[in-house]
Amino acid sequence: MRTPTAAPIDSPVLINIKTLPPGDLQNFITKNETFGEFLRKIGVFNRVGQYSNIRLTLLQPTKTTLEKDGITSMKILQRSSTSREKFLRLGIRLQQEAGMDVVTVPFIQLPFSILKKLTTEMHRDLTRGTGGEPLFFVDVNYHDFESVIHLLVDDLECQIVGLIQRRYSDYPLHYDYLRKYYDHDVAFMSVQTSRFDENFDDISTMHYLPFLGNDIYAVKVPKPFYDEAELEKPSKEPRLSKIRFFDKQSLKVKPAGSFDTERVLADIRYQDQDIIRDMLDNREEVNGDNAKFQVLNSFSKVHELNTSQLEFQDLRTQIGKSETQHYIDSKQALKPLLAIARKRAQTTLNS
């Protein structure tokens, strides 16, 4: 397993992912008002993320459903070429109406022969029509993963490819294949990435993905504000345990109760240090106060963004000095994780 040859992009990247269950998909391709509703939501997202360098929107059909008949939005698009073409056409038009600089193309689980034809035609139409760079997404669990990556990078010469992230241990061969492109002019962008990996003692997912062939990350985070009725329900564990902070030294995302106040304050530059100190010193109050829970939980995300940026800067410095191994050795959780990942990949390759 090779170490990264380029630094992770540290400019803010925001992607608005709208997952479409069957009902939402049918409304999108059959009702005029749904298009306008989605367009308004994209407008709100763009205003909120106005200071981000890259803003993207993705309408992704789902493969799961609560419907009794078992019909998923993915199955609808697999079975009907008419619905599929209409969905993709309207999705592209929606992004163009919203003024998005990069047009995303969602992943549809199709036989590779059909997917290849569809992808090639869409790439041709989008590059000719707008002169821009379309961003195609691929689910890491796709059975012909290597073939579609080869199509996008080698044949169509895409400079950025979206990956719907899955656990490395479930698809080691697919991640191993990405090593082929370490020295190519292409960036792989992982989306729906979890904040931490419970299988590796809560290590921050985004801080070990650079060593597995990924370049850009969109971390899946919960909404900062919570439903009051949901918060009033009895909980088996204290609310404080649901709030987590990122630790630069260990690269782990651990419950807030394990962090010293001064340690958190040292990681973030904030003009109202006294307010933050008071909030952290009295963090146990979130267990019985919804408002305080919301504030501390939101602050934990700000803290994580700030400290993660600093950590990526340190990684960039180490890469520039060709001292990536020194960086790995300095992180108590990273070295054993990569050793396990290497072993699993080799075992799968030999089986």
Q: Are residues 72 and 160 in the same domain?
A: yes
Q: Based on the domain organization, do 292 and 203 belong to the same domain?
A: no
Instruction: Check whether residue 67 and residue 207 sit in a common domain.
Output: yes
d(CA 26, CA 323): 52
Question: For the segment 55-73, what is each residue's pLDDT rounded down to a tens digit?
Answer: 889 999 987 765 556 789 9
347: in domain: no
Quick one: 90 and 46 in the same domain? yes
The pLDDT, as a whole number, for residue 223 is 44
List, for the chain, all residue ranges whose pLDDT scores fall below the cut of 70: 1-13, 48-52, 65-69, 129-132, 209-236, 269-272, 319-320, 340-351
Q: From 164, 187, 219, give the residue that closes a domain.
A: 219
pLDDT value at residue 165: 85
Total number of domains constituting the chain? 2
Residue 190 sits in the same domain as residue 272: no
Q: How big, in percent rounded to 5, are the helix, strand and coil portions of the chain?
A: 55, 15, 30
Q: Are residues 213 and 267 in the same domain?
A: no
* CA–CA gap between residue 255 and residue 247 (Å, rounded): 10
User: Are 36 and 113 found together in one domain?
Assistant: yes
Whether 8 maps to a domain, the answer reads: no
User: Is residue 175 situated within a structural domain?
Assistant: yes
- Is 40 within the bounds of a domain? yes
- What is the structure's pLDDT at 157? 93
Specify whether the CB–CB gap between 166 and 212 falls below 8 A. no
Q: In this structure, what CATH number is given to the domain that contains residue 56?
A: 3.20.20.330
Place of tokens 């990569």: 338
Same domain, yes or no: 78 and 112: yes
- Do both 85 and 186 map to the same domain? yes
> In the listed set 219, 250, 272, which residue is the last one of a domain according to the structure?
219
Distance between CA atoms of residues 239 and 259, nearest Å? 15
Domain ranges, residue 308: 228-320
For residues 240 and 212, membership in a common domain is answered with no
Cα angle 19, 25, 30 (rounded to 5 degrees) comes to: 150
pTM score: 0.72
Q: So what's the pLDDT on residue 44?
A: 85
pLDDT at residue number 5: 41
Q: Same domain for 158 and 244?
A: no
pLDDT per residue as tens digits for the range 101-155:
789 999 999 999 999 999 999 999 998 866 567 999 999 999 999 999 999 999 9
